[in-house]
Amino acid sequence: MLNLNKAQQACNKPADSGCSFAVLNYHRVMPIHTFWNEQVLDVGVFEQQLLQLKRFFRVLSLEQALQLASQGKVPVNAVVITIDDGFADCYDHIFPLLQRYQLPATFFFFFQGIQQGYLWENQIANAILQAPAEISTLQLQNLTFATADKTERHRSIVAITDLIKYHPMAQRNQLIADLIAQTGVPQMHHEFVTAEQLKQMAAAGMTIGAHTVHHPILSLESAETARAEIIQSKAILEQILAQPVHYFAYPNGKFAIDFSDEHVAQVRDSGFAAAFCTDWGQARPTQECRFRLRRFTPWDRNPWFFSLRLALHIVAERYSIRFLKEWVGTHGN
């Protein structure tokens, strides 16, 4: 792990009131019957959360939040909604609900998803789910994964995805090729938004940000590869949208693990105005911290617990109440 530096410590401090805001981070929202991964949120649960946000919080666009923060005028209950990756759910489920309730949001897309229709990890899920029934185990890096029934297959998808995640892109692709060789070539479904849908979302007022080209963990790649991933993702999206792209989100997004100060500098030098990590906290767009804005997403499926946890998070961060921060950030199970 890389060392925490001075700027990291500065970003941990409470900001002056009116200068920080909460940022929620979503990935996938689907009907419950297609649910197989605990990170997937049911459409109905997501809608309940939007209603709670509309009722008790001030949902701002990212531009509004940054503007108000620069003036020290962010309302205490301000929330910015972000959605990472660009799965088809963004257009099919999230975007219509945002429009229905007139809520702004920021979407971070990585280009390979738009271009080929799937993320590297979708290849793992598809290969395992479509493997012939008689395949009851898979071998990868001297480990055995059970795939005899649906439950085992779902478990193995999660385990194999975690195993492959922390490899540089070249090795990641090799491991996936090994897996596909054992299961047979799966038919890949287009699971991402298309360029046309992306344009529609931008035209409807949604903010579109970049999230690299291939979704690598930047700290595992060379400096040149990381820089190219950052610069190209901005340029390609700008070409599709015919408008500037100002914001970036680091893949996986844990500072000092998934990216470092070197990548923060690369993002800043590439002409972005701000960038998001996945470390928990309030976004504080100061000079030192605007390229490492933090996010926090309550995991509660009950809408009232969701609101309560979000409100307590804001209070704990605003007044720097350590025990409350710890309590808010602790999973109950």
- What residue ranges bind Zn ion (CB under 5 A)? 84-85, 251
Least distance from C-beta 3 to Zn ion, angstroms? 25
DSSP 166: T
Residue (84 or 191) nearer to Zn ion, CB = 84
Tell the smallest beta-carbon distance from residue 320 to Zn ion (Å).
Answer: 29
Residue nearest to Zn ion according to CB distances in the complex? 84
Comparison of 183 and 252: residue with beta carbon closer to Zn ion: 252
Closer CB to Zn ion, 123 or 307, in the complex:
123
Of 248, 267, 218, give the one whose Cα is nearest residue 109.
248
Q: Least distance from C-beta 84 to Zn ion, angstroms?
A: 4
Which whole-number Å values give the CA distances from 100 to 24, 78, 95, in the listed order?
A: 19, 20, 9
**Could you tell me the smallest distance in angstroms from the CB atom of residue 268 to Zn ion?**
20
Q: Cα dist. 276→129, 203, 246, 294, 331 in Å?
A: 33, 23, 12, 6, 23
Pick between residue 85 and residue 89 the one whose CB is nearest to Zn ion.
85
- Counting other chains too, the contacts that 320-328 makes at CB distance below 8 Å and 24 or more residues apart are 320/13, 320/14
Alpha-carbon distance of 4 to 12, in angstroms, equals 11
Q: How far apart (Å, rounded) are the C-alpha atoms in residues 130 and 154?
A: 12
CB of 215 to Zn ion, least distance (A): 6
Q: What distance in Å separates the CA atoms of residue 300 and residue 296, rounded to the nearest whole number?
A: 12
